[in-house]
Chain A
Amino acid sequence: MATVRAHRVLPGFGLSLGFTLAYMSLIVLIPLSAVFILTSTMSVEAFLGAVASPRVIASYRLTFGASLLAAVINVVFGLLLAWALVRYRFPGKRLVDALVDLPFALPTAVAGIALTALYAKNGWLGQYLESIGIKVAFTPLGVLVALVFIGLPFVVRTVQPVLEDLDTEIEEAAASLGAGRWQTVRRVVLPTLLPALLTGFALAFARAVGEYGSVIFIAGNLPMVSEITPLIIITKLEQYDYVGATAVASVMLVASFILLLLINGLQSWTDRRAGKGA
């Protein structure tokens, strides 16, 4: 090639990149930047007063803590579910497969009301849990339950296709080379699934951080105990405090963005490591 400019195999790079940027700006960047622009009208003291009061900090702890924990739980059990759905045949498998997506489709308020009815002290599950001293509805534990519920499909649906592609022959090869079962899982299966698991984790986590509808019914919403950050934002809006609400929202956005960046970084790191090993 004589030209210095690198030629691309696929045509239409300029058009598609231009479209991508315009679309992302319109749908994501402009609305998000409005949050930061409105926040930037605040003085530093007002900003700190809005985002760092004890009540708001307690809500970050609950929102991010419960979201992380829920994402971890979903990674463990989502993997199990995906494994069962891919590797085994059983009657009603298609039905279970379809059920996994239900938390996606269900309006979150319905999920919240259903979970609350279930776990309240007069509910089907709540009455037994209450008798052994476990309170779920109207406690932070209830928040966790709701977040696990809404985050489940993300892990299952990201892991499932990778697992389907993972040939059982590879496991058989590992076994024939003398690997034990646990060794096969640890050295062969898990490394292959790790990127998908991380993606699922990130999605489930991100969804949980922003979740409002389902949590609000089961949380009890006690200040310092079971208030989630999205509720703080709504509360500020109810008091006509637009700017305060966007300030808290911007803290949430930045924190989520940093966490998602970290997870993505971790993912590309595992990708590279896997690539080297192969």
Chain B
Amino acid sequence: MQSSTAGWRRLLAYGAATASFLFLMSVVVLAQTAILNVSYDVSRELYKDINPAFIADWKAKTGETITVNQSHGGSSKQALSVIAGLDADVITMNQPPDIDVLVTRGGLVAADWRKRFPHGATPYTTTSVFLVRKGNPKAIKDWDDLAKPGYQVIVPNPKTSGNGRYTYLAAWGYAFDKTKSEQTARDFVAKLFANVPVLDGGGRGATTTFTQRDVGDALVTFENEAIAISAELGTDQFQIVYPSISIDASAPVAVVEKVVAKKGTAKIASAYLDFLFSPPGQEIIAKHAFRPRDATVLAKFASRFPAIKTFDVEETLGSWADVQKKHFADGGIYDQIILKK
């Protein structure tokens, strides 16, 4: 009795050890062949097309079969997940602060991430444009029109969405560019936001409010979203208006160094991001209505992207960290103008 129980126990222990060893091995094997791209909300469709192209490209170059997983959500929430331990190999966002936060918290990303890939590590850019109802019944041409009394503008919440922050900064930059006065810029943005009847949490929500709920005279959103709406809902309902000047909304990407070091996926991760800058990657990007960096690809899709004067946040308004603090932190300018109304 005694010895047989001991025997069973030993067998059980061996079994458990073997099972856990196999489990660990499978985790290691899986980890070597799969990378995870953690991205923002509306890049879902883009990366759904990028990933198979990259997998084929990698297979042709190295003979290895890999998997690329993608995770999407509000950009700040996604960054928080990575900080909290989500094993992202690469992070692809729509504004630099959501990558900078990975540098400051836990040093997950290299401090010089902007220098590791071309164009400040931004494979594509977009800009804030207006979408108006067919025929432009309120004759909206430029930012000034949005701030007129009696107009309703749909903008996603600058507190919770990159899209909304870019809109706010674009309006600020427009007014500041015209008058070179911070006070005027502030008054202008205050007037514009006084015309906002609904603040949705993100870009998609704002799109729904404008297109499905029939609220507002104009929607300010990213160009790619505006083009997608026209494609989806037909050009007979809405039309895009390009303002005289808007903001350069470049989408930054970075390798999550700590994760790839642990998983041993550094090579695949940087090859993945390199692929975004390659001509095939740039074509896919252009097809999804983001402005590609590659001049030849951009020329090929020129009819889709009318020339527009844009300004860069960091060149005009200062570093992202300062902009964030000055405008969007609790008690910042955005809070002040919103409380006044």
Residues of chain A at the chain B interface (Cβ within 8 Å): 49-50, 53-55, 116-117, 120-123, 137-138, 216-217, 220-224, 234-241, 244
7 A-B pairs with the lowest CB-CB distances in the bound complex, closest first: A120-B213, A238-B76, A122-B214, A220-B198, A221-B199, A223-B338, A235-B159
Q: Are B213 and A122 in contact (CB under 8 A)?
A: yes
Interface residues of B in 206-224 (CB under 8 A from A): 209, 212-215
Q: Which stretch (B125-133, B228-236, B327-335) binds chain A?
A: B327-335
Q: Are A235 and B160 in contact (CB under 8 A)?
A: yes
Q: Are A54 and B339 in contact (CB under 8 A)?
A: yes
Given the interface contacts A216-B201, A221-B200, does A237 sit within 8 Å of B76 by beta carbon? yes
Q: Are A236 and B330 in contact (CB under 8 A)?
A: yes
Q: Enumerate chain B residues within 8 angstroms of A222, measured Cβ to Cβ.
A: 196-199
Q: Enumerate chain B residues within 8 angstroms of A216, measured Cβ to Cβ.
A: 201
Q: Enumerate chain A residues within 8 angstroms of B214, measured Cβ to Cβ.
A: 120-122
Minimum distance in angstroms from B176 CB to a CB of chain A: 23
Q: Give Cα A222 to B341, complex, Å.
A: 11
Q: Enumerate chain B residues within 8 angstroms of A49, measured Cβ to Cβ.
A: 330-331
Which residue of B76, B338, B339 is within 8 Å of A239 (Cβ)?
B76
Which residue of B80, B213, B335 is within 8 Å of A240 (Cβ)?
B80
Residue of B nearest to A121 (CB): B214
Interface residues of B in 282-341 (CB under 8 A from A): 328-331, 335, 338-339, 341
Q: Give Cα A53 to B77, complex, Å.
A: 24
Given the interface contacts A121-B215, A138-B215, does A238 sit within 8 Å of B198 by beta carbon? no
Instruction: Check if B157 is an interface residue, CB within 8 A of chain A.
Output: yes
The bracket for how many chain B residues form the interface is: 20 to 34
Minimum distance in angstroms from A38 CB to a CB of chain B: 14
Minimum distance in angstroms from A129 CB to a CB of chain B: 14
Residues of chain B at the chain A interface (Cβ within 8 Å): 74, 76-77, 79-80, 101, 105, 157, 159-160, 196-201, 205, 209, 212-215, 328-331, 335, 338-339, 341
Q: Are A239 and B198 in contact (CB under 8 A)?
A: no
Which residue of B74, B197, B330 is within 8 Å of A241 (Cβ)?
B330
Residue of A nearest to B97 (CB): A240
Q: Enumerate chain A residues within 8 angstroms of B77, measured Cβ to Cβ.
A: 237-238
Minimum distance in angstroms from B96 CB to a CB of chain A: 14
Q: Are A138 and B198 in contact (CB under 8 A)?
A: yes
Given the interface contacts A234-B160, A240-B80, does A221 sit within 8 Å of B331 by beta carbon? no
Q: Give Cα A53 to B329, complex, Å.
A: 13
Residue of A nearest to B332 (CB): A239
Instruction: With A237-B76, A237-B80 given, name 12 new contacts (CB 8 A).
Output: A50-B330, A120-B213, A121-B213, A121-B214, A137-B213, A138-B197, A216-B201, A220-B198, A221-B157, A221-B199, A223-B339, A234-B201
Minimum distance in angstroms from B124 CB to a CB of chain A: 23
Minimum distance in angstroms from A133 CB to a CB of chain B: 16
Q: Enumerate chain B residues within 8 angstroms of A239, measured Cβ to Cβ.
A: 76, 159, 328-330
Which residue of B160, B197, B200, B213 is within 8 Å of A238 (Cβ)?
B160
